[in-house]
Structure 1
Amino acid sequence: MASLAKLLFLSCLIDVRCKGLRTTFQHTDDSTCGYGSCNPVKDDMINVHVVPHTHDDVGWLSTVDQYYYEQVQYILDSVIPELEKDPSKRFIYVEIAFFARWYREQDDATMHTVQRLVDEGRLEFILGGWSMNDEGATHYNAIIDQHSLGFEFLRETFGKCGKPRVGWQIDTFGHSREQASIFARFGFDSLFFGRLDYQDKAFRQSHTTMEMVWRGSPNNLGVQADIFTGVLPNLYQPPAGFCFDITCSDTPFVDDPRLHDVNVEERVDAFLSAMADQAKQYTTNHLITTMGSDFQYQAAHNWFLNLDKLIKYVNARQSNGSKVNLLYSTPSCYTYHVNKAGKTYTTKEDDFFPYAHHEHAFMTGYYSSRPALKGYVRRANNFLQVVKQLDALAMLEDTDNSTFNINILAEAMGVAQHHDAVSGTERQAVANDYAERLANGITEAQKVYNDAVKKLAARNGNAVLEHKFCTLLNISVCPITEHENQFMVTVYNPIARPGLEYVHLPVSHDQTVSFKVWGPDGQEVTSELIPITPGTFRIPERKNSTAKYELVFQAELVPLGYSTYTVTSNKVIQKAAVNKKPLMQGADVVLQNEFISVAFDGTTGALKNMTNLEKQISIDVTQSFNFYNAFGGNNSQPEFQASGAYMFRPNGSSIPVTMGSGHARLSSRSYFVQGEVVQEVYQEFSPWVTQSVRLYNHHRFVQFHWTVGPIPITDGQGKEVVSVFKTSLGNKKTFYTDSNGREVLKRQLNYRETWPFNNTEPIAGNYFPVNSRIFIRDEAKQVQFTVLTDRSEGGTSLREGEVELMVHRRLLYMDGAAINEALNETGLDGKGLIVRGSHYVMLDPISSAAAGHRDLGERLFMAPALSFSLPTDTPGANNAWSGVRQALPDNVHLLTLQQYPSAGPAPSETQPFLLRLEHFYEKGEDPVLSQPATVNLQDLFSAFDVTGAIELTLGGDMVLSDLNRLAWNYPHEDETRRKTDSTLRFESEVTGKITTIDDQFIVTLYPMEIRTFQINVRPVEM
């Protein structure tokens, strides 16, 4: 398997601008960098840590490439010579997507210079992710991956001195608790950010709690997920009046006594005054001041010239009794000295959502902005995991170019996690660029899929097929299934447990064609034809499709493996398509399987009731689509704040979407079908809002598959569309949302846990990110109503028994957040964009609800991958294979499996793989599934034998036994609560090795624990 260095070399063979990459550096250990490289401080003074930095958005107003070639390359070109001149100078860099590109273009001499600066701690990498990811619209799997991508570049390029020690989320629009937990498990010693709610910040400033210990997983992981967290005083800008970039208008230092405009004394006075104000808000004699901003230091000499003078003249005041000492520093050096002060800090156990920067500017709109892009990012991440797994299972070699192809998608995904990418807060041209990068990456990754599945098929005696892909199945488009009389469908399951998947394939059908489906064992599988919904036909992107029906069948999923189904057609009518029946015919319509029934009113067509047949729980529930008219304004004053890509500011309560004024019924075009495989109710709320409610055999959820758009704007008002479930449950103003797809947080209307909250926007101020699920509970009835999403959305529960999720937005005003574009997406036809997605609804007793939503949440973000081929053998014969010898326990998820450069010792006769196993239940969620789980690695995989293993930190760039995080003082109410089972294991067994029992590798996982390993593997002899 090619290492990343080899990958970069291969890239340079294509890109003639690359020079000097073949140089191999002798990395120093971390004794010359790290905390030992910090500039000295003066213990009896207030030490101001001057941090030169640039914040380089990986796309926003311009595309990634435009930013790099127009600005970023000049920043790095300019900073490096300045650092060379003066050993005391420091600079931090963050976005590895840019730095890796710049570094690949440098000559040998510059590479050596950069290596020396890194080794001496003068150039320090902070955060280390491919981008500075968003926190409100991201999934934990993608967050970990994009950081691991950056970490691996730094590890291979700079060794230990390249390892980041600090999280730096300075520009994200609110902060998730899971992000803090992830950073702690990366081994970071601290986290700094700039944005938090204006009321929260004022409260912290007045109570001297701008720094705290954030408990990222207080009820599950304990201290291993705690991290020291600081709020930066000026967002991430310099103190007012002290910006010295060429784009700034602040007055530089004039210190030539021969001139009339000498301003040294007034400049020093102003700075000391600013530091005196800042000192009132922090607890130690160390202050941090950020010197830089967006894309600054293109002319680094301007900055450093004035910073040199600032440091010189402020420190000169010490001879007159001043107690302020300035020094060039970094966030990690600041962390180190604050830690040495030994103060005791308050804690925080919730998150920093939602974020408002004034009383009418709640940045809760971006939770749902650009829903199509959000959905695409989630699916692209799904496919990235698939190809990494297949590449590892097939053990593809350098000659397959799999590393190169996979990294095109991995880098595109890393860019897409940026806080102006998946967030939806970029300009339209930039959003298009993100989507194009993902599409290119998926195309390249498909080559890896093809190579891997063919190699596995040949190795295991299966049919070797050429695989094709249908990337528009979500809108019922697939040329091979529409035009071929026979074809094969390969279903790859990236979850290491069996399961069921209902496959929908668009087919052409003219009442003379019948289809049969054959399973991998050669036996016929029950299938049926259902009509493609009218709401699908109105999507302009499917204009070339001839399909009128979908062929639906149930596929049995092989654990971490594939199964192939054969579809044949002929001209003999054996079974006609399932007939449509009018939905509103007087009698209620009921969809029912062995677990669930849902009833629809026979007069209005609306959802009426839901029953869990297994547990004998029944509730009244309705579902409708509403819209908020968006507030328009010029943003000149807080009261004129408009709703936009970032902000959500509705102009009043939501309005139901109907066929017309006062029309409460659905369109007469609404219908239902009841087949053997799937039952479906099609609802038309208006010409621009339709939905299919589906119930499949053997499933414990109901799928609400919605299609929304084009959102009408002829009335001159932007609109924000929500799906609202109204139930008969009493949740007492309380609801629950997930944090980046993992742990669940309790939410309460108009309430914040750590500060007195005055909600000036009663709707927007109660919106929270929903990355995976939202639910309400009736504690008296012990019933839980859960809605899972297929992408990140904003959600809330504004009234008793309600769940509300925002699915689409189309706006006509800008919200004053710099992009200078209204969020008005259009489709291929130039009209408003049509978006479709799904909500998955479950009804359970509280005691057993987690088993359903945890399992389904995993299956949604790790959905099976479908590929298509033309048959070459007997239908379905011997076409199934599993990559595991035995399925993982029901509470364990295979989060990562990929070929990987060695982060630890790797015997030459074996290959190093990266493996992450995750216990995906919380403590107390389920009486059985919340218990610890044990996995035997040696008996797990069928494609290879595990010959050795060593435990790494979560980012995969450091042996766990080498981790030595700074310890902080903070109160905790009970030592037993603080030290959970997993924390006790973590603290007592940090040896970097796995427990060995009877010469086998045994891994134990505790609730919410992710354990990361480098496993050394050897192919199984066939």
Structure 2
Amino acid sequence: MATPEYTPFVFLLLLFQSSVWGFPVCQTPQESPTCGYKSCHATKPGMLNVHLVPHTHDDVGWLKTVDQYFYGDRNDIQHAGVQYILDSVVDQLLKNPDRRFIYVETAFFYRWWKQQTDDMQNTVKQLVNEGRLEFVNGGWCMSDEATTHYSAVIDQMTMGLRFLNDTFGHCGRPRVAWHIDPFGHAREHASMFAQMGYDGFFFGRLDYQDRNRRMVAREQEMLWRASESLTPPMADLFTGILPNGYNPPEGFCWDQSCDDPPIRDDPDLEDYNVDDVVTRFLHIAHGQALVYKTNHIIMTMGSDFQYENANLWYKNLDKLIRYVNQMQSNGSEVNVLYSTPSCYLQELHRANLTWPLKGDDFFPYADSAHDFWTGYFTSRPALKRYERISNSYLQTCKQLEVLGGPISRKGPFGAGDSETLKKAMAVAQHHDAVSGTEKQHVANDYARKLANGWAHCQVLVSNTLSSLSGSSAPRVYCEHLNISVCPLTETSKKFSVNVYNPLARPVSWPVRLPVNGTAYRISDAKGKAVDSQVVPVSQATAAVRRGRGYAVNELLFQVQAPPLGYSTYSVSLLQNGPPSPQSSPLPRAPKAVQNKFLRVTFDPETGLLSSLSNLETQQTVKLSQNFYWYNASDGNNSESIQMSGAYIFRPNTSTPFIISKTSLYLHVFQYNSICMRPTKRSRDSFHPWVSQVVRLYTDSRALELEWTVGPVPIGDDLGKEVISRLDSSINSSGVFYTDSNGREMLQRRKDYRPTWNLRQSEPIAGNYYPINSRAYIKDDKDQLTVVTDRSQGGGSIQDGSLEIMLHRRLLYDDVRGVGEPLNEMSDIYPEGLVVRGRHLLSLSPPATAADTHRPLAQEVVLQPLITFTDGELHPSTRLEFSGLQAVLPPAVHLLTVSQWDQDTVLLRLEHQYQASESKEHSQPVTVNLQKLFSTLDVLGVSEMNLSANQWKDEMTRLDWKKPLPKRGGDPSVWEVSLKPMEIRTFLLRVRQR
């Protein structure tokens, strides 16, 4: 906020906030609400207070699609209908003011809310204002924590919380994060929740050994210090582990889906059971109190899709509370009450205790000795990639919506919008979506929703690019360039290529286009000729296309795109003709290929990597890479009957099988400014199911490994888990590093957990961790980093080794609920799904490695958007544009640029380096907001919390015996300072220039 010398501006800004924005202080009730902590029932000092929390866990897709779950369709799969749950709960809350209920998934509540009458909406608002209906978590969904990228998580949380804020005001704002079902918990999620203003975080799943230790030590509630870079308590979050996952205590489930007997309280009946129920409940409560720290305990009363007939639950809970509390007259010290997670949290805060500190994360998760939930880190790799590129496309779509103004939404190509893709992406973050743990028809539905969102954004993007360029030529989108399919480039003799860069710095990007010509002329936006090469399409690519394209060649050239802007390249065919015959002799494998940064050597016999050198720093490591597969357990094992499945990774042996040369196809390319040559290709006559293209580009500090896996053969009746393994001379000493949701890096050590003495029972699966964007191994001299193009699982099983799982095809269900094996097929690949992806390898000294791998990972996450127009461009077409006045500092990432309201824009600026990670870039940086955009005048600014549902200076959190630091004002309202790993969020009032 502004310092005193800007008093007139501050006055106008505050007036503007209250009268125009109406956010986040809207929907003020007529009477003073008693929601949140004010609405909690009184507890009794000196007694064991049992907080009963009625709730339902409603997956936003799992065994059924989102639509099927909401409407109660396909009950032959699972009986569940969310609309009936909300109908029934509201009805029962109205019958007894003591009753409470919490709701989580805003995606479902939003649907239900739109269908209600004005009277019902007003009734629900009253329940919310009185704290009888409370929202927890509040995101569009309850996201997965292992396979999600932080930018997508922030987006989906913002969407859900904004709806609650707009609809219910501050009484709709959740105070507790609630992740009762995800399969392990990421430190970055806790950091984000803290920065979103949550007071606490509750979850249900953690490793069985960790839980056992914490129960004995009474450390099931802790303070999670979720960042090594942010100054405490900015990323500190009180965290609690629920006693029964998210289920009720055994014997106390009163849903229509349960078999536990109701409370029969008529003493004239023979089956009167109140005494038995009370005795059992008191026994459970006293037992639970022994493993928690205060005289308050919590019990989750509900489960998956429960409360469709809420009367069953509430009638029995009313009786339970009455009869247990009656025992106080006989000396009982147990007090039972309706409660919520925030009311329970308030009592823990009032206890004023010192809590244990947690600094690492909760991966991997195992529920018993041989049941490690590390398979889903890789499950459904095609969906994981589609979700990742959809996130990139959404960020581009939102940026262009802002830069284009109103014409972007309704322009020459029709009505476009970003909302459809926002909602599809939000749903895709669900812990049974991008995680890959849903049924196949549900995975198809997630992909369909994303595709629909793309279509809406394509109209918006076309409108904006047309407006900015002054060209009304139709834009063509080629969504299968990764397999060299683009009908326009395959047939056109003259076309243009528009490259939009969503990053706040210029990028240089290699473009490969499918063509049938043999020579082309390419010119950039200034008319300067661009070097290019035409190379034959690899055999693996031709095979994987399955008739969806017929290009025999690829046209390669390097493009440069300005920050938050585009550059246009003109392409003209010079020579058409047949490609070189496939039977022509191929050159022998080279000993090495190199550019000015890297040198790569190959084994002349196998064509596989043998070393990698950084020519700038004179580093060389021995390096080999190959593909292997683990034999997936079928449960027929003397140690355990656990099978490998969508959730669980359980190899039958600790030694993977190498994929033989008869199944491997290798193609190595070196690209430079004047030529490209194929340097090695095996001549096996077998149809490969694993292939790889190795590429080294002129200006790249990374080696590209483009792998293609599938169809994975199962004719031997063995499920297979396919990995790529790098073996190096680096002395890693059992340690490797992975990112947490794409942000901070975490150290991992083989057969070790920082918070307890691990008894390792699965030497492979128990050493796998989520890799969201990158992983590395290092010693004192060398750091080898692998950047991935999607979330994958991996580990370092041997010193100097790094393995990453690429694909899984399994023949058995792992008995965790999904009810079908992970055996993906499609109409195009009926014999098994084929998956293609990229790994980027870099070698650097550890002290400077972040300067390479952070921007590299960022370019993979937010890749340029390429569009095409056919024919000659009009001479008046604007061929280049940047939405920024100047390039941002290298440490600053423009995380969010999104239209908020008609004249307001949501902006997030992120410092993308950790403290002490980079000598050059781990320093505070400053950005001037008025000097940011080239097409927008910034007229007003106010800072928000991370999720944009509170003003930053009004955000308060419970103080866990550590005072919140006093934030000083910026030197001016426009100057924004960022410290390492800090994200700052602003609402800007803007005017189009």
TM bucket by the smaller chain? over 0.9
Deviation at 1:557? 1.2
Deviations 1:551-595 (A, max 9, x none): 11111111100111111114478x98899997783x643221110
Aligned mates of 1:76, 1:538 — CA distance in 2: 50
- Secondary structure, aligned partner of 2:91: helix
1:433 and 2:445 correspond: yes
Deviation at 1:134? 0.4
Contact 1:213 1:229 in 2 (8 A): yes
Deviation at 1:995? 2.0
Deviation at 1:220? 3.3
Aligned mates of 2:586, 2:363 — CA distance in 1: 41
The partner residue of 2:906 within 910, 914, 917 is: 914
Structure 2 match to 1:729: 730
Structure 1 match to 2:882: 882
Classify 1:680/1:763 alpha carbon distance in 2 versus 1 (closer, same or farther; 3 Å).
farther
The partner residue of 1:418 within 430, 450, 462 is: 430
Structure 2 match to 1:172: 182
- Secondary structure, aligned partner of 2:418: helix
Deviation at 1:969? 3.5
Structure 2 match to 1:207: 217
Deviations 1:726-761 (A, max 9, x none): 001100000000000000000000000001110100
Aligned mates of 1:113, 1:682 — CA distance in 2: 71
Q: What aligned pairs does 1:288-687 form with structure 2 within 5 A after superposition?
A: 288-396=298-406, 400=410, 405-458=417-470, 463-509=471-517, 513-540=518-545, 542-571=546-575, 585=588, 588-633=590-635, 639-652=640-653, 653-660=655-662, 670=667, 672=669, 676=674, 687=688
Contact 1:552 1:677 in 2 (8 A): no
Deviations 1:576-615 (A, max 9, x none): 8899997783x64322111001111111211111110011
Identity %: 48
Structure 2 match to 1:826: 825
Aligned residues: 952
Aligned mates of 1:704, 1:919 — CA distance in 2: 29
Aligned mates of 1:168, 1:880 — CA distance in 2: 46
Aligned mates of 1:487, 1:764 — CA distance in 2: 50
Deviation at 1:683? 5.5
Aligned mates of 2:583, 2:983 — CA distance in 1: 48
- Secondary structure, aligned partner of 1:333: helix
Classify 1:101/1:182 alpha carbon distance in 2 versus 1 (closer, same or farther; 3 Å).
same
- Secondary structure, aligned partner of 2:342: helix
Q: TM-score, normalised by structure 2?
A: 0.93
Structure 1 match to 2:978: 1005
Structure 2 match to 1:989: 967
Contact 1:584 1:602 in 2 (8 A): no
Classify 1:576/1:645 alpha carbon distance in 2 versus 1 (closer, same or farther; 3 Å).
closer
Contact 1:531 1:578 in 2 (8 A): no
- Secondary structure, aligned partner of 2:182: coil
- Secondary structure, aligned partner of 2:238: strand
Q: Which amino acid aligns with 1:308?
A: D
Contact 2:544 2:834 in 1 (8 A): yes
Structure 1 match to 2:991: 1018
Deviation at 1:678? 5.3
Aligned CA RMSD, in angstroms, stands at 2.2
Aligned mates of 1:831, 1:850 — CA distance in 2: 41
Q: What aligned pairs does 1:86-235 form with structure 2 within 5 A after superposition?
A: 86-235=96-245
Q: Which amino acid aligns with 1:474?
A: N
Structure 1 match to 2:898: 898
Aligned mates of 2:633, 2:172 — CA distance in 1: 47
Contact 2:407 2:467 in 1 (8 A): no
Aligned mates of 2:167, 2:639 — CA distance in 1: 48
Contact 1:244 1:303 in 2 (8 A): yes
Contact 2:402 2:898 in 1 (8 A): yes
Classify 1:886/1:232 alpha carbon distance in 2 versus 1 (closer, same or farther; 3 Å).
same
Q: Which amino acid aligns with 1:621?
A: L
Structure 2 match to 1:873: 873
Which stretch shifts more, 467-476 or 400-409? 400-409
Deviations 1:470-523 (A, max 9, x none): 1111111111111211111110000011110111111123xxx53111111112
Structure 1 match to 2:56: 54
1:41 and 2:43 correspond: yes
Deviation at 1:74? 0.5
Contact 2:668 2:694 in 1 (8 A): no
Structure 1 match to 2:23: none
Classify 1:219/1:683 alpha carbon distance in 2 versus 1 (closer, same or farther; 3 Å).
farther
Q: Which amino acid aligns with 2:558?
A: Q
Aligned mates of 2:818, 2:435 — CA distance in 1: 13
1:756 and 2:764 correspond: no
Q: Which amino acid aligns with 2:557?
A: F
Aligned mates of 2:644, 2:477 — CA distance in 1: 39
Deviation at 1:680? 5.8
- Secondary structure, aligned partner of 1:714: coil
- Secondary structure, aligned partner of 1:857: helix
Classify 1:1001/1:577 alpha carbon distance in 2 versus 1 (closer, same or farther; 3 Å).
farther
- Secondary structure, aligned partner of 1:640: coil
Aligned mates of 1:534, 1:272 — CA distance in 2: 70
| Unaligned 5+ runs, structure 1 | 1-23, 902-909, 971-978, 980-985
Aligned mates of 2:304, 2:537 — CA distance in 1: 48
- Secondary structure, aligned partner of 1:995: coil
Deviation at 1:671? 5.8
Aligned mates of 1:434, 1:274 — CA distance in 2: 41
Classify 1:578/1:146 alpha carbon distance in 2 versus 1 (closer, same or farther; 3 Å).
farther
Classify 1:682/1:292 alpha carbon distance in 2 versus 1 (closer, same or farther; 3 Å).
farther
Deviation at 1:876? 9.8
- Secondary structure, aligned partner of 1:745: strand
Deviation at 1:634? 7.0
Deviation at 1:213? 0.3
1:242 and 2:220 correspond: no
Contact 1:30 1:161 in 2 (8 A): no
Classify 1:965/1:851 alpha carbon distance in 2 versus 1 (closer, same or farther; 3 Å).
same
Aligned mates of 1:996, 1:926 — CA distance in 2: 26
Aligned mates of 1:420, 1:27 — CA distance in 2: 37
Contact 2:254 2:260 in 1 (8 A): yes
Deviations 1:328-386 (A, max 9, x none): 11101111111011011001000000000000000000000000000000000000000
Contact 1:530 1:577 in 2 (8 A): no
Deviation at 1:405? 2.4
- Secondary structure, aligned partner of 2:839: strand
Q: Which amino acid aligns with 1:56?
A: D
Q: Which amino acid aligns with 2:262?
A: P
Contact 2:553 2:579 in 1 (8 A): no
Classify 1:683/1:650 alpha carbon distance in 2 versus 1 (closer, same or farther; 3 Å).
farther
Structure 2 match to 1:10: none
The partner residue of 1:933 within 925, 936, 944 is: 925
Deviation at 1:218? 3.0
Contact 2:495 2:872 in 1 (8 A): no
Aligned mates of 1:28, 1:450 — CA distance in 2: 46
The partner residue of 2:65 within 50, 63, 66 is: 63
Q: TM-score, normalised by structure 1?
A: 0.90
Aligned mates of 1:80, 1:634 — CA distance in 2: 49
Deviation at 1:137? 0.6
1:774 and 2:786 correspond: no
Q: Which amino acid aligns with 1:87?
A: P
| Unaligned 5+ runs, structure 2 | 1-25, 73-80
Classify 1:725/1:339 alpha carbon distance in 2 versus 1 (closer, same or farther; 3 Å).
same
Deviations 1:846-885 (A, max 9, x none): 1110000011111111110011112453579640000001
Deviation at 1:546? 1.3
- Secondary structure, aligned partner of 2:49: strand
Deviations 1:882-928 (A, max 9, x none): 00010110010000001104xxxxxxxx8111000000000111111
Q: Which amino acid aligns with 1:728?
A: S
